[in-house]
């Protein structure tokens, strides 16, 4: 048997012989059902052969050992705590997110003047269009009010007498440009920083896109939220179709490489563009607003 690792009656170790004898004895006792004659003191004593026969598991045993099919109470408790912890790490605590409180605060003196004109109306001497742009030569004014950085600004359409700002402090503010330079209204409806903003053609409404994965459609004058949109992804850019008869078409560039199109009137998604290789950061209309 030289050069061979097999075990035979000639080279089997003594401890292996003893183990096999115990296993055979155990099998025989189980078959004959005479376990009632076993001395329980020997069974409980780890130094005896009977204890080894009862407790030692070996691959040589002919019969299959029974498997535990039910968890103990302690194991169940541990499994529940572990699953709960993993769920929170993977974002399973979405239900615990801060509730969105949609409100706005007006900071001006009056929302209407003596002629019944609302505060968003342009001054009488303001031009209806700005045909030329110039490089600024000096600092004209500084608007201060956000507690964190400003991610986007938009001038009021046509007249530019108001300026809208999106803040990393979750707030959107609208400022007077021509007269006082003060903040006229603050809009609060996002739980995280606001990424982008966009006016409708007449400035009566505007869109906000937040890192809380929500897009909100606001009434500029009253500060009320008209509608909220979401796909569960972060919107990086929002736009309305520039055509006057298509101002109900909302497009948003998302973090999941898609451009999503909504019909504001119905609140339904009407189209998805999913050919991008990365997140969409800007949207530009081309070909007389028929393409993107």
Is residue 64 one of the residues assigned to a domain? no
Does residue 95 have a pLDDT over 50? no
Q: Percentage of the chain surpassing pLDDT 90?
A: 49
The residue assigned the tokens 């189209």 is 271
Residue range 27-46: mean pLDDT, rounded = 62
Tell how far CA 37 is from the center of its chain: 67
Same domain (yes/no): 50, 142:
no
The residue assigned the tokens 């982008």 is 196
Same domain (yes/no): 248, 125:
yes
Q: Show the DSSP H helices in 90-212 as ranges.
A: none
Half-sphere exposure of 174 (CA within 13 A, CB side): 31
Same domain (yes/no): 49, 149:
no
Length of the chain: 292
CATH number for the domain spanning 230: value is 2.130.10.10
Is there a contact between 250 and 240 (Cβ–Cβ < 8 Å)?
Answer: yes
Residue range 55-75: mean pLDDT, rounded = 60
Is residue 226 one of the residues assigned to a domain? yes
Q: Show the DSSP H helices in 67-197 as ranges.
A: 73-89
Does residue 151 have a pLDDT over 80? yes
Same domain (yes/no): 121, 211:
yes
Instruction: Find the angle CA(164)-CA(170)-CA(268) to the nearest 5 degrees.
Output: 80
Number of domains observed in the structure of the chain: 2
Does residue 156 have a pLDDT over 90? yes
Going by pLDDT thresholds of 50, 70 and 90, the confidence category of residue 168 is very high
Is residue 281 one of the residues assigned to a domain? no
Same domain (yes/no): 171, 251:
yes
Same domain (yes/no): 149, 228:
yes
Residue 240's CB is within 10 A of a number of other CB atoms, namely: 21
> Which residue range is the domain that position 167 belongs to?
99-273
Going by pLDDT thresholds of 50, 70 and 90, the confidence category of residue 115 is confident
């Amino acid at each position: 048997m030289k050069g061979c690792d097999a075990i035979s009656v000639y080279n089997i170790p003594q401890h292996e012989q003893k183990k096999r004898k115990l296993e055979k004895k155990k099998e025989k006792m189980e078959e004959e059902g005479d376990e009632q004659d076993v001395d329980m003191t020997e069974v409980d004593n780890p130094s005896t052969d009977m204890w080894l026969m009862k407790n030692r598991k070996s691959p040589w045993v002919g019969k299959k050992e029974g498997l535990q099919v039910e968890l103990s109470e302690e194991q169940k408790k541990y499994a529940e705590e572990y699953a709960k912890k993993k769920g929170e790490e993977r974002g399973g605590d979405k239900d615990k997110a801060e509730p969105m409180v949609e409100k706005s605060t007006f900071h001006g003196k009056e929302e209407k003047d003596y002629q019944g004109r609302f505060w968003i109306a342009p001054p009488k001497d303001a031009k209806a269009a700005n045909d030329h742009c110039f490089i600024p030569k000096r600092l004209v004014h500084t608007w201060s009010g956000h507690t964190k950085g400003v991610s986007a600004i938009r001038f009021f359409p046509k007249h530019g007498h108001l300026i809208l700002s999106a803040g990393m402090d979750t707030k959107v503010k609208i400022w007077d440009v021509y007269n006082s330079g003060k903040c006229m209204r603050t809009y609060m409806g996002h739980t995280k920083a606001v990424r982008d903003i966009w006016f409708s053609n007449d400035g009566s409404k505007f869109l906000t896109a937040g890192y809380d994965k929500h897009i909100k459609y606001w009434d500029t004058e009253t500060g009320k939220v008209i509608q909220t949109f979401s796909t569960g992804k972060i919107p990086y850019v929002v736009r309305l179709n520039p055509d006057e008869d298509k101002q109900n078409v909302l497009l948003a560039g998302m973090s999941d490489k898609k451009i999503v199109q909504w019909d504001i009137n119905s609140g339904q998604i009407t189209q998805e563009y999913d050919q991008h290789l990365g997140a969409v950061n800007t949207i530009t209309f081309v070909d007389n607003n028929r393409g993107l």
